[in-house]
Structure 1
């Protein structure tokens, strides 16, 4: 994960690492972005659920543009298979792109970013042919 943190800090993002909060972050994400009737049936990856059951989910370049336009100053980044969470302060950051966020290590390969109010999410799955996805709450 260090290369990710290095790329983020090089873009002016202040990164705070928080260990052991990944499970809670994933649960909050499900509560905010997956319809209640879908929450009992789970795909192996959370991002698969957002593709199936979220109205207004943007994909690919449209998702990238929506993320760029989100205009948040703070965000939380977490992963599918890790309990590590990164709190991001984007106040002084340069524009982040999908390339800045991609991680090759499997535990960190599926990336979920949310704003503090869980009003939107930006997801980069490990599957190169899928996503990214941007969805409002």
Structure 2
């Protein structure tokens, strides 16, 4: 599904490096970094294995939602980031991302058919677009 907007982003000057079979590694890293204070029992209760973004929909971590999330993501300084999907094996390292905006990763209808996770290359912030129209998008930035 990422390939659906990849061409559009390359036209904006973003550079994609496909990382075959690495999405699982990034999901694990995402969970280690952003969910480090959430107990195993809490993770199980909110079915984090199904969707990592449940941490936000179940309000276990404070985050920005909807238009506030979009605005925060668009304003966030971005140089390099990782993009992966919940149920895909490949991930992307994306460079030259200073022009990346939230509208670039949604369809013309403002929705997406998969769950897209974007994280800074050092995993200090994350932006998630979910497949469920009433959930998200979400933006979360770790405290310094």
TM-score range, shorter chain: 0.7 to 0.9
The equivalent residue for 1:9 is 10
Match of 2:38 among 33, 36, 39: 36
- Give the conservation status (yes or no) of the 8 Å contact 2:57–2:135: no
Q: TM-score, normalised by structure 2?
A: 0.81
The equivalent residue for 2:61 is 54
- Secondary structure at 1:112 match in 2: strand
- Secondary structure at 1:46 match in 2: coil
Displacement of 1:3 after TM fit?
A: 2.4
Distance in structure 1 (CA, Å) of the matches to 2:57 and 2:134: 13
- Give the conservation status (yes or no) of the 8 Å contact 2:106–2:112: no
- Give the conservation status (yes or no) of the 8 Å contact 1:76–1:85: yes
Matching of residues 1-137 of structure 1 within 5 Å: 1=1, 2-34=3-35, 35-37=37-39, 38-41=42-45, 42-43=47-48, 44-52=50-58, 53-55=60-62, 57-90=63-96, 93-94=98-99, 96-102=100-106, 109-137=114-142
41-50 or 118-127, which moves further after superposition?
41-50
Q: Could you tell me which runs of 5 or more consecutive residues in structure 1 were left unpaired when the two chains were aligned.
A: none
> Aligned pair count?
132
Q: TM-score, normalised by structure 1?
A: 0.85
How much is the aligned-residue C-alpha RMSD, in angstroms? 2.0
